[in-house]
Amino acid sequence: MSYSRVLLVRWSRRDVLAVVALAAVVAFLTGAALFYTAAKDRPTDLASEYQPAGDIREFASVDRARRASGDDALVLPFATLESGRLVVGVTPADRRRAGDLGIVVPTPPDSGLASPSPGAPSTTVRHDGERTAFTVSRVGDGGLFPDRWYVARPGVVETLGPSGALVVEPPTSSTGNSDDSVHAAESTTVLRGTLLFFERGTEQVLRGFGLLIAAAGVLATVTVTSVVGMTVTDRIETIQVVRATGATPARVLGLFATRGLLLSLAAVIVGFAVGTVVSSLVTSVAVSAGLSTTLTPRVSADAAALLAVTYLPVLAVGFVAGAAAAFPAVRRPPAALTYPSGSDGRSLLGRRLGVGLPAPLQPRVLDWRAAVPTAATIAVFATLVLLVLSGGAVAGPLAGGSSATVLESGAIHPIASSVPQSHADAFRDAGIAASPEILLFGVIDDRPTIVRGARYDDFAAVTDAELRRGHPSRERDEAMVGSDLARTHGLAVGDTVVVGSGLHPTLERVTVVGRYDAPGAYDDQLLVPLAAGQHLSTRDDGSVNFVRLERALGDDAPAEGVQVLDVTVDRPVTTPTVGVNVSLVNVADEAATRTLAVTLGEERRTRSVALDPSERREIRFTLPVPSAGSYRLSVGNRSQTVTVRSPGALLIQGLPDAVPPGSSPVVRVRTVAGAPAANATVAVGNRTESVGRDGRVRVPFPAAGEATVRATAGERTAERTVAVDPNATRRLGTTVRVRPRNVSELTAPTATVRLSNPWNRTARRTVTLRGPGTADERSVAVGPGDSTAWSLPLSRQPRGEYAVALALNGSRVDGTTYRVAGGDGVSTVALRNADVAEGGGLGVAIATVFGNLQVIVGALVALAGLMVSGTLVASLARTIHARERTLGIYRATGASPRRVIGLLCRDGLLVGVVGVALGVAAGAAALLVLASQGVLVFFGIAVVPAFTPGRLALVAGVALALVFVGVLVPAIAFVRRPPAALFGGDTASGAEAADSSETALPPTAGLDGEPGDDRRRPDGGDP
């Protein structure tokens, strides 16, 4: 047989063991790659509809902003008022350009300021020591800008003195400027950045996956070098012969390099099969066990590409390691390929490590140099396990079973959930700390950043956050930063940050006023006020994503007995009597009786009511009211103020708060009882108009200014003040009411909206009426002087205060609030209308996207243990193989297999203790280096290495057990061979030995100082 075939394809049992060990490494990489590719598309699929709408950068000066921006950029200068509010300069061209990006920018007035929120008719700002008054008009929804900002013409900003500029650019555009100009920005954010958040986070995970490949490369190097090194030792006689008969060193080196490549190739094939099967099997077992996971690891096109990139380094390592193992055999002449006579087979490193140690601590068979590959292998294992344990410490608070999160029932993801903010009140009333929150996935300075809208006190109550510097946020433009996020983003108290929404083209500009420490990933978030979070998520109905609770719900339940569900008053509330309706329910399991007292002012009525279990009943009381005025109504533990009016009192309806000059809106004059005031007159200035039989009259407003509208009918009068503003638009009259006004937990109220058109042309609008958990949108056309109305049934809600908002063409114009009253204990309605999941909101989000991460982590840790075990078996087998002649002497002189295994295990544990100590220390140091370089940041969450004594002891204990397995497996294989075979030097089986017998020389020597001398006594002493 050709020596080339002998050196390439004649594999011994150790070669097969090497393939198995290296296949474990490949199986780990395969499982990691399959899970990664299965997971990476999940969040991007979820966020695919949230393509970035634009990039926003803030600059400290307008000139710098213009120099750093591209031709298609939108430069918006701003000035800062004494109150801290911003005045942003916008031109009509800016507004049109923003519209091309799908961004809503308010229309600036011709003069003065405009505000998206209702404000005073004017405001005063200081400029150059003088006070200059600016008229403020309302423009509706601010869209991009918060409703506390003002918009104006750029000339107004120049008058006030610009303090900076915002630059809005298309998300795919390039600034066309140098990096210096880009870095000149104070802060950069992305509008609608959820998709980009997950893309950047995936890039961070991919960078971490590169670390896995590097770690596996270390193990592959140890494995291939160990096994090919044993092959070189076994084939030293063959190498000596082929070198002596004319083979060049390059030829021999190439053969062993190819042998290493073939071993790696076989391992890749086996490891691919094992990794694929184990990944699918773990997922199937998890699903069968009832663990939820949405991931399906499979060999997709993306997975195949990643696996190819992963396997190529492994093959390259095999090729290079094979050549490196054979290099000592080719750098010497053929005659020098023997151990020096008298060598004890100990390496110089082994002798140095053993200096000064007492005899009981000296290995009897093995060599101390085995501690080096052992330490390298354990370092990789320790790095992976400590990383998993540190990551678990980060993720633990997110999934803590002691906490809970209240989500919208049936929501596919927490960021798609919408629950009333008042749900938190229901749980606080029951003694459970609750934090209503909004979760946003943003990108700030090109880094994925988790932004959470919440009140700090509520957030701290459910998270155990501690203030470290500064003070809690008190204003809407103040934010707090977690300590880990402050480190990764370089943020400090006093810094200003522009924050973009994850789902909508909106922004906030906040100043960091405090830094806090919180457990786990809560320390990696930017905490903005709840009002700012509601603007970013365009929530004007008082809703939030979820409510986090300090603890899971126990046996909290409503109190038993007859409870008051609802108290309503007949409308209109007029003299001489008021009707009060009280709704009751018996929540007990048996019949119950309650004496109910109703008090209105000085009047009091009582009644005894008996109800069967679960029975509901409405009781009506009629109480006399002698005169108009305000009275206190009390029923049980509930009370409210009731305003009683005369039935004939006048009301002016349908009159807008602001009208343009020259307009003549239609006004309705009615009595409180609802009848038209046909005999009334309406006066504006010196002009008086008579009311028609239907109670309507058209009132002219010729000049700008404030106008008083006075309706008179006999001695009855009513007045309204109207702003006549050139910037006012012809708005529809709106009324939003909720009936009944006082709602119980078991009552489904109804919201009614009325639109009136006081103008002389038909008004067409898209009307949206939004209440807690529901919305109704429709297109309406209201003719001149006409009105239209419709109702929206609202769902039952737990006790608390709720908002109903009315929007016309997307801009909020009106709304109202109502309050739901309830009994003691946790609201049953809150539980009926929501899902309560264990853990924090972000933890629920992760579980929703990826399923049960414990399945992935468990599978990868199991594969990592298999990988390290295989590598240790291969490396320690080489060490044992180097001492096989000594083992042969032990066996030949009567040592039993158990005695030999005991000696090897004793020596293996001695060497292992040193290797484990070095490896754990090296792994911990590697994690600290990676953390300092910002590598251990995934989806904006920094994994901070934490080395507690318990953690280190756990890692060291498991590592030492793996070392024990690594010694035991080859030891058993060696003692199963006859003692005579341990003196042959060639581990080849029969056919291979026969093929090479003609060239075999007595195996009396080793290579390059490796143990090969058989002159040591069985007790380890010198002969």
| 117 and 209 share one domain | no
Please tell me the predicted confidence (pLDDT) of residue 650. Answer: 93
Q: Which two tokens stand for residue 167?
A: 């630059």
CATH value at residue 695:
2.60.40.10
Please tell me the predicted confidence (pLDDT) of residue 284. Answer: 76
| 457 and 488 share one domain | yes
d(CA 341, CA 882): 16
pLDDT at 177 over 90: no
Q: Measure Cα distances from 295 to 181, 368, 762 in Å.
A: 43, 45, 55
Tell me the pLDDT tens digit for each residue of 268-305.
999 899 888 888 887 777 667 665 566 677 888 888 88
| 433 and 551 share one domain | yes
Mean pLDDT to the nearest integer, 555-577: 75
**Looking at 524-602, which runs of residues are DSSP E strands?**
525-528, 543-544, 546-549, 562-569, 577-586, 592-600
d(CA 909, CA 32): 31
Mean pLDDT to the nearest integer, 580-597: 84
| 419 and 545 share one domain | yes
Is the pTM here over 0.85, yes or no?
A: no
DSSP, residue by residue, 457-472: HHHHHHH--EEEEE--
* Alpha helices in 480-622, H assignment, sequence order: 483-489, 530-536
Query: 572 preceded by cis ω (within 30°)?
Result: yes
Question: Looking at the DSSP assignment, which residues form a beta bridge with residue 676?
Answer: 670
pLDDT at 356 over 80: no
Domain-ending residue, one of 694, 729, 764 = 729
Task: Answer whether residue 1023 is part of any domain.
Answer: no
Closest to 451 (Cα-Cα) out of 541, 517, 532, 516: 532
| 782 and 802 share one domain | yes
Supply angle C-alpha 822, 824, 829, rounded to 5.
50
| 320 and 417 share one domain | no
In the structure, what pLDDT confidence band is assigned to residue 580 with cuts at 50, 70 and 90? very high
Please tell me the predicted confidence (pLDDT) of residue 669. Answer: 93
Task: Answer whether residue 103 is part of any domain.
Answer: yes
Q: What is the mean pLDDT of the chain?
A: 78
Closest to 755 (Cα-Cα) out of 771, 778, 739: 778
Supply angle C-alpha 888, 892, 895, rounded to 5.
90
In the structure, what pLDDT confidence band is assigned to residue 38 with cuts at 50, 70 and 90? confident
In the structure, what pLDDT confidence band is assigned to residue 46 with cuts at 50, 70 and 90? low
Task: Answer whether residue 574 is part of any domain.
Answer: yes
Please tell me the predicted confidence (pLDDT) of residue 510. Answer: 93
b vs e for 44-82, b when ≥16 Cβ sit within 10 Å of the residue's Cβ?
A: bebbeebebbbbbbbbeebebbeebbeeebbbbbbbebe
Domain-ending residue, one of 159, 174, 191 = 191
Domain-ending residue, one of 555, 577, 594 = 555
Percent of the chain residues past pLDDT 90, beyond the cut: 18
**Domain interval for residue 497:** 401-555
Tell me the pLDDT tens digit for each residue of 142-173.
688 888 888 889 988 988 889 999 999 887 54
| 231 and 145 share one domain | no
Percent of the chain residues past pLDDT 70, beyond the cut: 77
224 versus 320: the higher-pLDDT residue is: 320
- Strands 113-115, 130-138: pairing is parallel
Cβ–Cβ < 8 Å for 134, 122: yes
d(CA 1016, CA 1004): 13
**Count of CB atoms within 10 A of residue 164's CB?**
20
| 677 and 809 share one domain | no
| 613 and 628 share one domain | yes
Task: Answer whether residue 814 is part of any domain.
Answer: yes
Supply angle C-alpha 866, 872, 878, rounded to 5.
140
Please tell me the predicted confidence (pLDDT) of residue 228. Answer: 65
Please tell me the predicted confidence (pLDDT) of residue 131. Answer: 62
Please tell me the predicted confidence (pLDDT) of residue 988. Answer: 40
Task: Answer whether residue 406 is part of any domain.
Answer: yes
* DSSP classification of residue 574: B
Task: Answer whether residue 1009 is part of any domain.
Answer: no
* DSSP classification of residue 920: H
Burial of 226 (0-12, 13-18, 19+ CB in 10 A): buried
Closest to 367 (Cα-Cα) out of 1006, 834, 930, 846: 1006
pLDDT at 1017 over 50: no
pLDDT at 833 over 60: no
Domain count, the chain: 6
Please tell me the predicted confidence (pLDDT) of residue 381. Answer: 83
| 467 and 496 share one domain | yes
Task: Answer whether residue 917 is part of any domain.
Answer: yes
Query: 970 preceded by cis ω (within 30°)?
Result: no
826 versus 258: the higher-pLDDT residue is: 258
pLDDT at 250 over 80: yes
| 74 and 102 share one domain | yes
Cβ–Cβ < 8 Å for 628, 646: yes
Task: Answer whether residue 938 is part of any domain.
Answer: yes
863 versus 916: the higher-pLDDT residue is: 916
Lowest mean pLDDT among 46-50, 265-269, 428-432, 914-918: 46-50
Mean pLDDT to the nearest integer, 498-516: 90
d(CA 826, CA 557): 5
In the structure, what pLDDT confidence band is assigned to residue 181 with cuts at 50, 70 and 90? very low
| 449 and 596 share one domain | no
